Amino acid sequence: MARKYFGTDGIRGRVGEPPITAAFMLQLGWAVGRVLGQGRCARVVIGKDTRISGYMFESALEAGLSAAGIDVRLLGPMPTPAIAYLTRTLHACAGIVISASHNPHYDNGIKFFSAEGSKLPDDVEAAIEEQLTRDMDTVSSERLGKAERIDDARGRYIEHCKSTFPTRLDLRGLKIVVDCANGATYQVAPSVLKELGAEVVSIGVQPDGLNINHNCGSTAPESLRLRVLEERADLGIALDGDGDRVLMVDHSGELVDGDELLYVIARARHDSGKLNGPVVGTLMSNLGLELALKAAGIELLRANVGDRYVLEMMQANQSILGGESSGHIICLDRTTTGDGIVSALQVLAAVVQSGSSLQTLRRGMSKFPQIMINVPLAERIDISDNPGVRQAVKEAEARLQDKGRVLLRASGTEPLIRVMVEGEDDALVREQAEHLAKVVEQTVERKIKSA
C-alpha cells in the first residue's frame, strides 16, 4: 500500500498539525503495539530530544502502547543513536525516537528502530500504517503494558561511545569545543570527550525546549567556528539536535563537512588495513570525495539520499563505512546507525594516531564547488516528468560539459525540492543553480495554479 505517513526518516511535521498531534501519537503507539505484539514482543523503549513537545508525545505514545499490552521503558532526553543502542542492549523489540532531528522546535517527528538497532523494514512500516486505519481498542486490565524509567541510560550510552575509541589512545593534549545544539547530546557528548582526556569547552548545552538547533549545532556552525578561534582550540565538533549528524571545524576555523569527515575516516581505516568493502556516499556526495578516494584505491558507491538508503547499500556491498554530506556518517564496525559522537571519535582517533591536525588530514580531498538551493513547496508536487524542467537540466549539464553534475530531488523530510549543481567553475555552478531553481519555482507555481 502507498505510504500516507512514513517518509524516508519516519514521520515528521509541524506540531499541532496532522499527523503531529497528541491524538495521532496515541493511535500510533497503539498501532505499533498491535503490530509488534503479534510476535513475542516484551517491551518498547522511548527516547526523545529536548524540544518541548516531546513530553506530550512521550505520554501519548506510552498510553497507546500500554493499551495494546506492550511494556514501555522511558529513556528521557537521549541521542537518536543512543536509543538504537539501548534498544539492543535492553532486549526491546523496538525503539521509538521522538525527534525532528535538525529541524526547529516547532517541528517534531517519530523514528523507529528494530530490535537489532536498525531502521524498521518497509513491511513493518506498511503494517503499522494499515493498523492506523482501524479503530483503537484496549486490552483487558490485567494485560495492560507497564511503564518504567531507565535511570542509568545516559551512563550506559557514554560507556558505549568510549568503547568505540581505541583503548590504547586518549585525547589528552587536545582542546575541543563541542556544540550540542541545545539538543539530545547536551549531557552526553561533553562527558564522553572529558572522560577520554580532552580539555572540553561546551556550548549549546542549555536547552529550554524552544532553542534546539536555534543558531547553533551542525545547521548553524558559525558560533562554533568563532569559539574555536577564540579559545585557540585544536578543533570543534558540531552535533545536530538529535545527535545523529556531525560537522567539525579545524583549528583555523574552517568548516569540515560530512564528505571530508568520511574521507578522513576512510583513509585512516584504509591505511590501517581495516577498511572492508567500498565506501558508500549519496547522489549529493561531492565529486571531490569520489576522486580523492579513487586516488587512494578506494571505491565510492552512491546511494539515494537518506541514511536508510546508504545503510541498505552498505549492507548489500559488505561495506563498513558510509555517509552523507550533511554529516550523517555510519560506521558499521562500531555501531548500527548514524552516530554523531561515535563518528567524531573516529575522526579524533585518526588525528591522534597520525599526529596530524584535522586541517592536514582533510587536505587530501579537494572539494568541487557545489551549490544547493531549496525551493519550498506549498504542497508536495512531482516535477520529475516536466518537459521544461528536463530541458533546463539538459542545458545545464551541457554548459558544465563533463566537469560537473546536476541533481534535482524532492526532500524526504520537508516540503522542498532541492536543486544541486556541482562543477569546477564556481561562477558557472552558481549561475546554473540559480537558473534551475527559478525554472523549478515557476514550474511549481504553474502546476499549483492549474490544479
For the stretch 137-149, pLDDT in tens is 999 999 999 999 9
Say which CATH number the domain at 389 has: 3.30.310.50
pLDDT (0 to 100) of residue 308: 86
| 400 occurs within a structural domain | yes
Average pLDDT value for residue range 40-58: 94
pLDDT (0 to 100) of residue 142: 95
**Would the pLDDT of 59 be above 80?**
yes
Residue of 101, 319, 325, 326 with catalytic role? 101
Average pLDDT value for residue range 42-60: 97
| 390 occurs within a structural domain | yes
Does this model's pTM top 0.75? My answer is: yes
| 194 occurs within a structural domain | yes
Q: Are residues 344 and 239 in the same domain?
A: no
Instruction: Return d(Cα 431, Cα 379) in angstroms, integer.
Output: 27
Single residue among 236, 256, 276 that ends a domain in this structure: 256
- Helix extents (H) in 375-423: 387-400
Q: Are residues 282 and 220 in the same domain?
A: no
pLDDT (0 to 100) of residue 119: 86
> Where does the pLDDT of residue 135 fall: very low under 50, low under 70, confident under 90, or very high at 90 and above?
very high
**Would the pLDDT of 439 be above 90?**
yes
> pLDDT over 70 for what percent of the chain?
98
Q: Which helix (H) or strand (E) holds 120?
A: none
Quickly tell me which residue has 537540466 as its cell: 393
Averaged pLDDT of the chain: 94
pLDDT (0 to 100) of residue 81: 97
pLDDT (0 to 100) of residue 1: 52
Q: Are residues 262 and 252 in the same domain?
A: no
Q: Are residues 32 and 146 in the same domain?
A: yes
Number of Cα atoms under 13 Å in the Cβ half of residue 36: 31
Instruction: Return d(Cα 149, Cα 155) in angstroms, integer.
Output: 14
Q: Are residues 109 and 199 in the same domain?
A: no
Say which CATH number the domain at 195 has: 3.40.120.10
**pLDDT tens by residue, 338-356:** 999 999 999 999 999 999 9
> Where does the pLDDT of residue 395 fall: very low under 50, low under 70, confident under 90, or very high at 90 and above?
very high
Average pLDDT value for residue range 257-274: 97
Q: Are residues 294 and 387 in the same domain?
A: no
Q: Are residues 199 and 279 in the same domain?
A: no
Per the CB < 8 A criterion, the answer to whether 22 and 56 are in contact is yes
Number of Cα atoms under 13 Å in the Cβ half of residue 218: 27
**pLDDT tens by residue, 199-213:** 999 999 999 999 999
**Would the pLDDT of 307 be above 70?**
yes
Helix (H, G, I), strand (E, B) or coil at 256: strand
| 344 occurs within a structural domain | yes
| 161 occurs within a structural domain | no
Helix (H, G, I), strand (E, B) or coil at 207: coil
To the query of whether residue 53 is one of the catalytic residues in this protein, the response is no
Single residue among 207, 225, 256 that ends a domain in this structure: 256
Q: Are residues 338 and 401 in the same domain?
A: no
**Would the pLDDT of 166 be above 60?**
yes
Single residue among 230, 256, 282 that ends a domain in this structure: 256
pLDDT (0 to 100) of residue 446: 83
Number of domains in the chain: 4
CA 242, 153, 89: angle at the middle one, nearest 5?
Answer: 95
Phi, psi of 343 (to 5 degrees): -65, -45
**Would the pLDDT of 451 be above 70?**
no
Eight-state DSSP code of residue 119: B
> Where does the pLDDT of residue 425 fall: very low under 50, low under 70, confident under 90, or very high at 90 and above?
very high
pLDDT (0 to 100) of residue 404: 87
Phi, psi of 38 (to 5 degrees): -70, -15
Per the CB < 8 A criterion, the answer to whether 81 and 342 are in contact is yes
Count, in order, helices (H) and strands (E) of the chain.
Answer: 14, 18
- Helix extents (H) in 115-184: 122-131, 153-163
In this structure, of 34-38, 57-61, 295-299, 428-432, the range with the lowest mean pLDDT score is: 34-38
Q: Are residues 43 and 65 in the same domain?
A: yes
In this structure, of 149-158, 289-298, 304-313, the range with the lowest mean pLDDT score is: 304-313
pLDDT (0 to 100) of residue 52: 98
Q: Are residues 209 and 312 in the same domain?
A: no
> Where does the pLDDT of residue 39 fall: very low under 50, low under 70, confident under 90, or very high at 90 and above?
low
Number of Cα atoms under 13 Å in the Cβ half of residue 267: 26
| 57 occurs within a structural domain | yes
Q: Which residues pair with 405 in a beta bridge?
A: 422
Q: Which helix (H) or strand (E) holds 30?
A: helix 22-36
**Would the pLDDT of 273 be above 80?**
yes
| 90 occurs within a structural domain | yes
- Domain interval for residue 217: 174-256
In this structure, of 158-167, 209-218, 376-385, the range with the lowest mean pLDDT score is: 376-385
Phi, psi of 101 (to 5 degrees): 55, -115
Q: Are residues 105 and 232 in the same domain?
A: no
| 361 occurs within a structural domain | yes
pLDDT (0 to 100) of residue 2: 62
Instruction: Return d(Cα 282, Cα 300) in angstroms, integer.
Output: 9
Average pLDDT value for residue range 404-422: 86
pLDDT (0 to 100) of residue 8: 75
Q: Are residues 272 and 249 in the same domain?
A: no
In this structure, of 79-93, 318-332, 390-404, the range with the lowest mean pLDDT score is: 390-404
